[in-house]
């Protein structure tokens, strides 16, 4: 009986954080940026937005690589129905932290896997992030140290941002960084991808 050759796995991102996370699983894969419009739709709930964008990223890359398994991911930070984007500046980051300080917000990470047959599977992980009360001085000192200018919510929890929190409640801490590895492995198992290794 001929051995199965592993099929290509592509991570639809250019994020170094997501790439480093997926490397932990010991799988061979490529990374390819998925350039899509990430504008929120009118009335769209935060979890629905994360799920839609993860699937759009997987579909976009799969269009150029139809014979590959393509994994898309997206993360949304929401306080009630307000979604926080990447601040892009020190002042924007300080403003975001002051809006989040002393409150509990949701960090929603969605993934979508598109197979060569066109099947699509999805999953999501939501964390409750309990931020400590902060003064503007402390918020500014954190931003100057960690420079989270391209992180939605203006914190890097995998770095010094952990100091900003009293608690993080969820079931897969890798989701906080951007890619829930337990869910990724489950989707790969469900599609039969792991049987080709």
Residue 95 is a catalytic residue: no
| 18 Cβ neighbours under 8 A, 6+ residues apart | 11, 31, 73, 177, 178, 179
Cβ contact 154:148 at 8 Å:
yes
Distance between CA atoms of 25 and 188, rounded to whole angstroms?
A: 11
Torsion of the alpha carbons at 173, 176, 179 and 184, rounded to the nearest 10: 40
Cβ contact 58:94 at 8 Å:
no
| Catalytic residue (choose from 74, 95, 146, 172) | 74
Residues classed as catalytic: 74
């Amino acid at each position: 009986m001929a051995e199965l050759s592993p099929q290509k796995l592509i991570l639809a991102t250019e994020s170094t954080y997501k790439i480093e996370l997926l490397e932990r699983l010991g799988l061979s894969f490529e990374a390819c940026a998925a350039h899509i419009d990430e504008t929120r739709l009118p009335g769209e709930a935060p979890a629905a937005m994360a799920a839609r964008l993860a699937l759009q990223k997987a579909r976009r890359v799969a269009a150029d690589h139809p014979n590959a398994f393509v994994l898309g991911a997206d993360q949304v930070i929401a306080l009630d129905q307000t979604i926080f984007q990447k601040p892009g500046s020190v002042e924007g980051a300080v403003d975001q932290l002051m809006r989040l300080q002393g409150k509990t917000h949701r960090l929603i990470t969605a993934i979508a896997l598109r197979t060569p047959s066109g099947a699509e599977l999805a999953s999501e992980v939501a964390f409750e992030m309990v931020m400590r009360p902060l003064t503007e001085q402390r918020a500014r000192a954190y931003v100057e140290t960690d420079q989270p200018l391209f992180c939605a919510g203006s914190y890097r929890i995998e770095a010094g941002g952990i100091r900003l929190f009293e608690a993080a409640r969820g079931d897969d801490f890798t989701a906080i960084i951007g890619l829930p590895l337990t869910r990724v492995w489950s989707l790969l198992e469900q599609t039969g991808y792991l049987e080709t290794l």
